[in-house]
Structure 1
Amino acid sequence: MTRIILDIKKNLEENASIYFDRAKKAKKKIKGVEEALKRFAQQQQTLEKKQDEYAKEQRTKAQPKQLQHWYEKFRWIRTSQGLLCIGGRDATQNEILIKKYTKPTSIVFHAEMSGSPFFIIIEDHASEQSLKEVATTTAVYSRAWKLGLGSAEVYYVLGEQISKTAQSGEYLTKGSFMIRGKRTSYHPRLEFAIGLREQELLAGPPQAVQAHTENMVRLVQGTQKASEIAREIKKKLSYKGHIDDIIRLLPTGKISLSR
């Protein structure tokens, strides 16, 4: 029940006038509050729309790029000669590379240590410089980088020298093969680079990357994790994509930028 307090010093009309004025003021306040609430609701809708747009933009930026070429699921480089070379990321990919992509005349690289990737030069007519660059890449992506070695022994053979048939009494695990016949060996230094050409990332020995772009950074064995160094590389190269695109190209182990 609403209580109405009357001023006994005033007559009925005067008391009614007071309450009428109060009612008008209250109505104005209510109208002001309603207008303020309406403005707030509009501002809230605008803010939520902007937040949705920003979140959508960030999700788009945050997604690693879709692989555009079949070879990008593997390790890969382009030599200074422009030849495509692909390598295995693990034992399964090593198995796929040898069985699916290796021809009898293919040049196939491997480091003289367990866990090394196989690297294949997909195209023919490789120059000596290209051979050296693929040898370096094979060494970098082997365990040699993680072990902190300055160089590693790498060799190449032809595809026809590789077999899945083990010696009598032996067993070949997934990704392992028998190599028979002559080997051509290299002892490359472990040096690597990441470059950017029209927002396309390139990896490989410095000479190979530099042949395709001047926008590059050199990597050495160091102290930083892949995620940390990837952020630095992204900034230095002005790469607009996700750092995961860079991490995919890095060797296993601690890394620093060459000063």
Structure 2
Amino acid sequence: MSTTSTIDKKISELNINESSEKVIQHKKLAADRLEKARTKRDDEIQNLKDEQVLNAKKGELVQLYSNLVDDCRQYIQNFVDKQIDWTNIELAIKSDKRKKNSIANYIELPLNLKENRVNIKLKDPEENESETESENESSSDSDSESEMIQRRKVKEHTIHGVPVSIDITISSFANARYYFDLKKEAELKQTKVERGAEIAFKNAEKKIGQDLIKNLQRENGFRQKDEREKFWFEKFYWFITSEGYLCLAGRDKMQTDLIYFNYFSDDDYLVSSEIEGSLKVFVKNPFKGETIPPSTILQAGIFAMSASQAWGGKINPAAWVLNGNDVSKYNSLGILPPGEFEYSAKKDFLPPAQLVMGFGFFCLVDEESAKLHEKQRIDKENEHGVVKIYDNKKKNVNFKITNVKELSSESESVEEQKTDQNTAEVSSRGRKSKLKRAAKYANQDEEDKSLIMNVLGGKKRDEEPKQKHPQENVNIKKNDYNREQHERDVQKIIMDSEEDNSLKIFPNTMDSLVQKPTPDDNIIGLIPVFAPWSALQKCKYKAKIQPGLAKKGKSMNEIINYFTTRKMDGTKFDTDLDWPEEREILKSLKSNDLIGVFTVNKMRLILPKK
């Protein structure tokens, strides 16, 4: 079955309207791509054929005019033997070109004496025969004036002959052999291209057909089989520490607020740094009343600073950490702008750390395998007498939200009282000066005052403040609207968090994510993660990343190539080696779908030698 019939069959299975404009447009684009691939192949073969004909002709002309070629070689060699400057040689050739029947008329300038080569023009006998035939026909027939002009142009063009590059250090027959060798090389290349062109064209036809089907499925809302539904935490920057703690960071300021209200509690920790661009990393603490290990806090600090200017500056700064109950979204005036927080305690700064990150994969297993990991986790928790609880409980969040307007109105009333007092003081100070000016200009009437004010431009100065008042009112309303809008957004986030149950079932979600699978696990996908290097030590798939200048797209392609070319164990016995199903999933991944986890744009990839 041909590729075209297969594509038509798959399109018919989609049950879409093939006469719609979008379907016709996609088909037209696919046909254009296929035609370009076909013409590219044909052009490449035709260029090789033309190259063979041209090299054969040049070799034959060098043989035909061997005496002339040797005379040209000897002519140039005489100048070279006399050690004349190359520019002076060219000047001498220009002067000899004025003489009739001079050997210099066959030589083209400039010379390429650096490579011992010279370009000469050799007349083609076949073209001379065609010229004589055309002259005989023109003498017998009455041609138009335009045809005569065109024939003269052809005569002038063919008089110069075929340009041929010769080596002055070898004989004319050696120069002819050089062109015949080039012809043979082009013939061999043509046979290779023709063999590979058919395979390349079939592959291109198959790829274009697959892209067409994908585009049609995307237009009609079909989900690809290899597309998986993403977890809730993948919309943020995230990673799991080496001790198993979840760390979240917002991609923008609104996401930072979303994490605070939906997933942050008083028992959790906030880690960030003073360097510009640093992330605010929220560390979830599922063990209530217990402190988090220092290594987890240090890893969160490295993750926070990876997005800052410290990464490009290649410095080792220090991060800070605060407990969740010391972090608030409100101050005395009300809710703070997006991404900003109020801290009620002193920041605890961490020791400087080297910014070394890594990219890796978590293996996603099926439900049966996840249940086995869940049973192992519960047994381990019962053995140690601990229970993991993920919540977002914070003190007085709802109370403060409902009273934001009251606090803002009180602050506005206080500001109004201050402005009234200031205006009263200004008016009392300026009363005496106004009385003096009134006595000075008491004899002037209204016409005199208006003329003087027009000359001095006083009316414009009086009108300007009147025009400024409406703009000030607009700005005040705009600021109030932004604060009210942010307040509404926060209330909506809190209402959604009450219905969101994803945080409570997060332990069950983690049971399906395995860093190094066992032979009993059935792997159905791979979850990309970008994390501090120390947090990925247990991962089967990991690559070390440091500050550098390489782009993330190129680095991701190198990572995938490294993962897909490592040693593989078909028996699934060795857990350190790659397995066949993992290799198939890796080959189906695209770099553009994976680079979103990076918090950096430039990097240096460090891969172990094979």
Cα separation, 2, equivalents of 1:111 and 1:190: 13
Aligned to 2:5: 46
Amino acid at match of 2:315: G
Contact 2:270 2:321 in 1 (8 A): yes
- Give me the CA root mean square deviation: 3.1
Cα distance 1:47–1:84, how it changes in 2: closer, same or farther (>3 A)? Answer: same
Q: Does 1 or 2 have the higher relative contact order (CA < 8 Å, sep 6+)?
A: 1
Question: Any idea what the Cα deviations from partners look like across 1:71-128, whole Å, max 9, x if unmatched?
Answer: 1100000111112111111111111112222111211111212432211112334322
Aligned to 2:532: 205
Task: Report SS of the residue matched to 1:207.
Answer: helix
Cα separation, 1, equivalents of 2:533 and 2:549: 20
Contact 2:329 2:335 in 1 (8 A): no
Amino acid at match of 1:251: T
Amino acid at match of 1:122: K
List aligned pairs for 1:205-224, cutoff 5 A: 205-211=532-538, 213-224=539-550
Report the TM-score, using the length of structure 1 for normalisation: 0.71
Structure number with greater Rg is: 2
Aligned to 1:106: 268
Aligned to 1:16: none
Q: CA deviation at 1:202?
A: 2.8
Cα distance 1:67–1:248, how it changes in 2: closer, same or farther (>3 A)? Answer: farther
The more displaced of 159-168 and 178-187 is: 159-168
Contact 1:64 1:241 in 2 (8 A): no
- 1:179 lines up with 2:527 in the alignment: no
Structure 1: 4+ residue segments shifted above 6 A? 56-64
Cα separation, 2, equivalents of 1:191 and 1:55: 38
Aligned to 2:556: 230
Task: Report SS of the residue matched to 1:82.
Answer: coil
Q: CA deviation at 1:230?
A: 1.7
Task: Report SS of the residue matched to 2:562.
Answer: helix
Q: CA deviation at 1:226?
A: 1.8
Cα separation, 1, equivalents of 2:303 and 2:6: 50
Cα separation, 2, equivalents of 1:176 and 1:63: 41
Contact 1:65 1:242 in 2 (8 A): no
**Structure number with higher helix proportion:** 2
**Structure number with higher strand proportion:** 1
- 1:140 lines up with 2:306 in the alignment: yes
Cα separation, 1, equivalents of 2:599 and 2:356: 11
Match of 1:245 among 571, 584, 593: 593
Cα distance 1:64–1:47, how it changes in 2: closer, same or farther (>3 A)? Answer: closer
Cα separation, 2, equivalents of 1:81 and 1:257: 25
Cα distance 1:197–1:56, how it changes in 2: closer, same or farther (>3 A)? Answer: farther
Cα separation, 1, equivalents of 2:357 and 2:605: 10
Amino acid at match of 1:152: P
Cα separation, 2, equivalents of 1:242 and 1:229: 13
5+ residue gaps in structure 1?
A: 1-41
Cα separation, 2, equivalents of 1:109 and 1:64: 36
5+ residue gaps in structure 2?
A: 9-204, 218-222, 364-525, 565-585
Cα separation, 1, equivalents of 2:211 and 2:600: 33
Amino acid at match of 2:543: V
Aligned length: 215
Task: Report SS of the residue matched to 1:248.
Answer: helix
Cα distance 1:122–1:46, how it changes in 2: closer, same or farther (>3 A)? Answer: same
Cα separation, 2, equivalents of 1:254 and 1:236: 19
Cα separation, 2, equivalents of 1:249 and 1:75: 7
Cα separation, 2, equivalents of 1:243 and 1:154: 31
Cα distance 1:250–1:138, how it changes in 2: closer, same or farther (>3 A)? Answer: same
Aligned to 2:319: 154
Amino acid at match of 1:217: A
Cα separation, 2, equivalents of 1:179 and 1:252: 28
Cα separation, 1, equivalents of 2:591 and 2:210: 19
- 1:81 lines up with 2:237 in the alignment: no
The more displaced of 242-251 and 153-162 is: 242-251
Cα distance 1:66–1:143, how it changes in 2: closer, same or farther (>3 A)? Answer: farther
Contact 1:62 1:242 in 2 (8 A): no
